[in-house]
Structure 1
Amino acid sequence: MVSFARVVLPMLTLGLIFTVPQVASAEFLSNNGSGGYYNKSTGQSYSYEFELWTNDNNTEYTLKVWRSPDYPNQSAFKVRRFTSAAEALKYFDSNYTDKRCNLWASEGVCSKSSL
């Protein structure tokens, strides 16, 4: 007859090996800032805040964007992932700052202003 220790202990050991959870990945704040633009056709100013988070091995970046009055007490209204910090910051500049006005400069929609 096979002993309890020779059968059950190896099975328990294998069970533990397969059920140990993977190490959790952490995110770290790597950059934050603000920007905005003024729309001449509507007369409205828009201002935004951002946080750029990275995982612990710098392979994925998460950009979180808020309208300035909502920051930091509300949830970000835009969350998007990128493979580089430069790509994320370029996205913010192109979509939420006066640099976006360069796209519409010929139509006179925006004028640059400091917010």
Structure 2
Amino acid sequence: MHELSIAESIVAAVTDKVAATPIRRVRVEVGRLCGVVPDALRFCFELATGGTCLAGAELEIVSSPGRGRCRDCRAEFDTDELIVMCDCGSVDVEVLGGRELLIREVEVV
């Protein structure tokens, strides 16, 4: 479960910036193509925040869509599939979006 290491990294990044300031909410952007299961990340975040300034903080997850461009037919399209394939049948696709995993906002108490 890589969501636990992601949650631990979020906690570490936030505590590095805000030290011991109590945190109310953390908003993260999770791309639909990055392979993160939102419910698993929420569960792991709750575990990882225990005993830190983030204990009890809400994890708000904003999903960003997957987007690709076919290198063969040049079509751009939205996708939620981890294995990206164009409607023309090509798998030679450049991923333009959906792999993001970013801390967007931290709300302090």
TM range (shorter): under 0.3
Higher-Rg member (1/2): 1
Q: Normalising by the residue count of structure 1, what TM-score does the alignment of the two structures yield?
A: 0.25
Looking at both structures, which has the greater relative contact order when contacts are Cα pairs under 8 Å and sequence separation is at least 6? 2
The structure with more helix, counted as a fraction of residues: 1
TM-score with structure 2 setting the length = 0.26
